[in-house]
Amino acid sequence: MNERPRIVFLIPILSRRRVKDWHLACAYFKQTLSSIFNSTGGNYCVVVAGHEPPDFQLPQDPRFKFLSLDHPLPSQETGYWFAAIKDMLIKVGAAWNYAKSTWNPQYVMKVDADDLVSSRLVDWLNAAKEAAGYRIKHGWVWNSGSRRIIKCSESFDLVCGTCLIIRSDLADSKGPFLNSMDGIKLDQAGKRIEATDNRSLVPGAGLGSLLLNDNHGRAEAQFRYLGHQLAIVPFRAAVYRVRNPQSVSQRGYHIHSFRWLLGSIRRTRFITKSLRREFMLG
């Protein structure tokens, strides 16, 4: 690549030893890659990190790199969730180190291996003002396999990790950013804040970098701690796939109350041809 990429997409993929259906996980990951390479702007690069390559032909593109890692899989003694998060952060860290040394991109974005990115995102970022970072507040939530309907979300950054774009010179900045989901043991006060306030920094949090933590909902507070403001992407720029049996969270939507049901109905939209093209929705 002759020019500095505007953004690098970092994608960690689970080992086939930790998924129930490797073929399905690969199919979802292929769709994620398709959504990125469907971008109307070409000023980007992609680094994928995993133990094993997927069972399909990877892109033969100078903007793409697959890193084959061989670190021991984290123990599941403390739970599948914590082991998966630790493995994910190791892979994101390796992918980021490669991207920095090879391409020196201007921005970095973590992308889950089953989520989808808007074809408009790279072009928009090329024209956007030089902010310290951007969060995707407005997005889509898609029940895996649904062919006709999708839900819009106005708090996308709280539910999906594919929501944060960080300026590269800030990605390694340190602060109290690691919480219990990152393996940090909190006292009772910290646990209470973590459970009741999903936007603020947590008392007793561990020292970690802006990029390498799994607390995307607290990104705005993390940027403030570093003396920067986080801007908002002004359109629905990503799709969060839910009810994916291969996902770490395996989060789905369940009926909690009649009011919740009405809100869910109001957020429901039909999947149009243009939306299908924008995100490569299958």
Hey, what domains does the chain have and what are their CATH numbers? 7-172+230-279 (3.90.550)
Q: What is the DSSP string of 215-264?
A: -GGGHHHHHHHTT---EE-SS--EEEEES-TTSSS--------HHHHHHH
pLDDT of residue 265: 74
Please tell me the distance from the alpha carbon of residue 240 to that of residue 141, in angstroms, as a whole number. 5
Q: What is the DSSP string of 30-74?
A: HHHHHHHHT-S---EEEEEEESS--SSPPP--TTEEEEE--PPPP
Q: Rounded to a whole number, what is the distance in angstroms from the first to the last CA of the chain?
A: 30
Element at 187 (helix H, strand E): none
pLDDT of residue 247: 56
pLDDT of residue 233: 98
70 close to 60: Cβ distance less than 8 angstroms: no
pLDDT of residue 39: 98
pLDDT of residue 263: 61
Using CB atoms within 10 Å of the CB of residue 17, give its burial: 0 to 12 exposed, 13 to 18 middle, 19+ buried: exposed
pLDDT of residue 262: 59
Q: Which residues of 56-80 are buried (b: 16+ CB within 10 A; e: fewer)?
A: eeeeeeebbbbeeeeeeebeeeeee
Q: Considering only CA atoms, which of 47, 8, 10 is closest in space to residue 168?
A: 8
pLDDT in tens, the chain (282 residues): 568 999 999 999 999 999 999 999 999 999 999 999 999 999 999 999 999 999 999 999 999 999 999 999 999 987 888 899 999 999 999 999 999 999 999 999 999 999 999 999 999 999 999 999 999 999 999 998 788 999 999 999 999 999 999 999 999 999 999 999 888 999 999 999 999 999 999 999 999 999 999 999 999 999 999 999 999 999 999 999 997 655 555 444 444 455 655 567 788 999 999 999 999 997
pLDDT of residue 145: 76
Indicate the SS3 state at residue 208.
Answer: strand
239 close to 139: Cβ distance less than 8 angstroms: yes
The two tokens of residue 159 are 């539910």
pTM: 0.93
Instruction: Give 239's strand partners.
Output: 116, 140
